[in-house]
Amino acid sequence: MPFRAVAVEVDEVEEGDPEQVARGNAARKARAAVGAAGPADTVLGADTVVALDGRILPKPRDREQARAWLRSLSGREHLVVSGICLVVAGAQRDAASATRVRFRSLTEAEIEWYLGTGEWRDKAGGYAIQGRGAALVAAISGDYWTVVGLPVPTLLELLGPGFLAGS
């Protein structure tokens, strides 16, 4: 499906209920993109949050914070929530998908290796499962695409039946 990516500047909320935060951030991004894309375009906004013990671990501001996030996730299970928001002909629909992720028990050398990749930059929780961050993960329970940041099954539900048949 042809698409155009539109960069928007939106202040992301980093505290609160993970599902509400992800949905709210996705909606703010979608509404901001409507202005850049045009009112007739279908717009999709998305946001992903990582939460450990109910506390959101946002994108790390620097390497030290990324190290702290990875240490806290090591050997533990956390929640990843991706919120999406569709704006179609001015009508807004949103949803969220949640997946549980369990990290391996990481050594300091493994944490330093991952930090050295730079992949942690601009990633909620300081890792990317679709890249080298896959080496940090022991198991997931739920939708892999939610952890990547675009829960495709949830998006297809929002688009409605017949979307795939009509494309």
Q: What residue ranges do the domains of the chain occupy?
A: 18-161
Q: In degrees rounded to 5, what are phi and psi of residue 37?
A: -90, -35
Q: What is the pLDDT of residue 41?
A: 78
Query: Residue 143 catalytic?
Result: no
What's the predicted TM-score (pTM) here?
A: 0.92
CA torsion sign for 100, 154, 14, 120 is: positive
What 3-state DSSP class applies to 4? coil
Beta-bridge mates of residue 91: 88
Q: What are the tokens at 109?
A: 């050398």
Domain 18-161: which CATH class? alpha beta
Find the catalytic residue in 11, 17, 41, 47. Answer: 47
* pLDDT class of 16 with cuts at 50, 70, 90: very high
Q: What is the pLDDT of residue 51?
A: 98
Tens-digit pLDDT profile for residues 129-162: 999 999 999 999 999 999 999 999 999 999 887 6
Closest CA to 65 of 80, 47, 75, 50: 50
Q: CB atoms < 10 A from the CB of 138, how many?
A: 12
